[in-house]
Amino acid sequence: MHIGPKEIPAHKFILCIGSPVFETMFKDVEPDTFEALLAYLYLDKISLNENIECITYLGSIVKPHNAILFMSKTRVYDCPEFWDICWDIISDDPDLCYGAYSFFNIDFSTLNNVLNGPLID
């Protein structure tokens, strides 16, 4: 298969299993991205560099006033690493976190976890 100027060997059958419209969907894909997709299809191997970068960025913007709200959103996206970052911030300054406006906008499961967590005596 040709991706830009690069030819990347792949079995057509495997590609069709992965996506019936494979060739038309990936005309604009970068070769490195395509190779990562093939590694996933063939080897069930995935590079998590983008996830790590995303978690690192999100961790840098979490503050006590929004940590509980962000923690609530981690349930939707199934990101336990980010949950831990939020929990550390809440642990460092629970009074500010619990007094934040965002505390009133969290889902019940997060509220239950926070209230039953180790910070509440």
Confidence of residue 120 (pLDDT cuts 50, 70, 90): low
Confidence of residue 121 (pLDDT cuts 50, 70, 90): very low
Asked if residues 62 and 86 have their Cβ atoms less than 8 Å apart, the reply is yes
> Can you give the pTM of this predicted structure?
0.54
Output the CA–CA distances (angstroms, integers) from residue 51 to 33, 36, 84, 105, in the order listed.
Answer: 14, 14, 15, 26
β-bridge mates for residue 6, sequence order: 3
Question: Residue 108: pLDDT above 70?
Answer: yes
Q: What is the pLDDT of residues 62-84, one digit of tens each?
A: 898 888 888 888 877 777 888 88
Q: What is the pLDDT of residues 1-42, one digit of tens each?
A: 666 777 777 665 566 556 655 555 555 667 777 777 777 777
Q: Give pLDDT, residue 60.
A: 85
Q: Give pLDDT, residue 55.
A: 79
Cα–Cα dist 11/3, whole Å: 14
